[in-house]
C-alpha cells in the first residue's frame, strides 16, 4: 500500500540534540563521581526511555540518586537547547518541501520536543506531535508510533517512520510502519526486515519515499 504520511523522530533525526545531551550527561555523571565515556553515554541512551537509562545507571552505581539526577538533567538540558540547536543536515529542506501529512513521535516530554524543534526552525512545520509522556508508551513499544499515525488520520502501515535509533526502528516495525533508518548508525539487526530501509541522508529518505508512494 502506498505511503500516505511521514512520522519523524526528533532527537538525532530532525534536530542535532543528541550529542548536546550526551555531553551534558557525561559532565553530570562526572560531577556524581561516575566515569562513563561520552560515546558510551550516547550509545546507551539513544532512543531509550530516559528513566530506563537512569535506572540502569543506578543499578551499576548505587550512590547515584536517580530522581534528582533526572530533574536536574531536564532543567539543565532545556537551558542548553534554548541557546540554539541546528537541524540535522537536510532536515529543514526535506520537511519544508514534503507534500504529505507529517507528525513527530518522540520519547521526550512535549516541552523538550517543542523547544528543540523551535530552536532548529522546524516547529512551524508540525501541527501533530506525539510525546511518549502523554501517550504513556515509550519506544521500543509500538504505541507511540500508532498514536502518531492516528493523529494523521492514518494507519501505521500507511506511514513512513524516519528514525535514527534501534529502539525507534523496533517500535516502527512492531507498529507495522515502513522504517527509514536515518543517520550514521548502521542498524545491523534489521537487514532482513522487509519494511526496513537504510537511509543515511535525507536525499536517501526522499528517494525511498518516491519509491514507496
Rounded to whole angstroms, the Cα distance separating 34 from 66 reads 13
Look at residue 189 in the predicted model and tell me its pLDDT: 86
Domain 18-82 grouped into CATH 3.40.50: no
| Residue 130 CA to its chain's centroid (Å) | 11
- Whether 9 is catalytic: yes
If DSSP codes are grouped into helix, strand and coil, which group holds residue 45? helix
Superfamily of domain 5-16+86-212: HAD superfamily/HAD-like (3.40.50.1000)
pLDDT one-digit tens code per residue, 149-195: 999 999 999 999 999 999 999 999 999 999 999 998 889 888 789 99
Residue 145's nearest CA partner among 121, 128, 120 is 128
- Cβ–Cβ under 8 Å, residues 114 and 18: no
Residue 45: per-residue pLDDT: 81
DSSP label of 15: B
Q: Where are the beta strands (DSSP E) in the chain?
A: 5-8, 102-106, 129-131, 159-163, 178-182, 196-199
Q: Are strands 129-131 and 196-199 parallel, antiparallel or unpaired?
A: unpaired
pLDDT at residue number 1: 66
> What was the pLDDT predicted at 98?
97
Domain residue spans of the chain:
5-16+86-212, 18-82
Residues in the chain predicted with pLDDT less than 50, given as ranges, are none
What nine digits make up the cell of 199? 537511509
Distance separating alpha carbons of residues 70 and 86, to the nearest angstrom? 24
Q: 112: closest CA among 123, 101, 124, 128?
A: 123
pLDDT attached to residue 190: 86
Omega before 53 within 30 of 0, i.e. cis: no
| pLDDT at res. 196 | 97
Catalytic residue among 9, 65, 127, 164: 9
Amino acid at each position: 500500500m502506498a505511503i500516505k504520511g511521514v512520522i519523524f523522530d526528533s532527537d538525532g533525526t530532525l534536530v542535532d540534540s543528541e550529542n548536546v545531551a550526551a555531553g551534558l550527561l557525561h559532565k553530570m555523571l562526572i560531577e556524581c563521581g561516575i566515569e562513563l565515556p561520552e560515546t558510551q553515554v550516547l550509545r546507551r541512551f539513544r532512543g531509550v526511555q530516559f528513566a530506563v537509562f537512569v535506572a540502569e545507571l543506578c543499578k551499576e552505581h548505587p550512590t547515584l540518586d536517580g530522581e534528582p539526577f533526572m530533574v536536574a538533567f531536564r532543567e539543565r538540558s532545556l537551558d542548553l537547547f534554548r541557546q540554539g540547536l541546528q537541524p540535522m543536515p537536510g532536515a529543514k529542506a526535506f520537511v519544508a518541501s514534503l507534500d504529505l501529512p507529517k507528525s513527530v513521535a518522540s520519547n521526550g516530554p512535549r516541552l523538550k520536543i517543542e523547544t528543540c524543534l523551535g530552536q532548529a526552525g522546524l516547529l512551524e512545520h508540525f501541527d501533530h506531535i506525539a510525546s511518549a509522556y502523554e501517550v504513556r508508551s515509550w519506544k521500543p513499544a509500538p504505541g507511540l508510533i500508532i498514536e502518531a499515525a492516528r493523529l494523521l488520520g492514518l494507519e501505521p502501515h500507511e506511514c513512513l517512520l524516519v528514525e535514527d535509533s534501534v529502539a525507534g526502528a523496533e517500535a516502527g516495525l512492531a507498529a507495522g510502519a515502513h522504517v527509514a533508518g536515518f543517520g550514521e548508525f548502521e542498524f545491523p539487526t534489521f537487514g532482513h526486515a522487509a519494511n526496513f530501509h537504510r537511509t543515511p541522508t535525507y536525499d536517501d529518505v526522499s528517494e525511498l519515499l518516491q519509491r514507496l508512494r
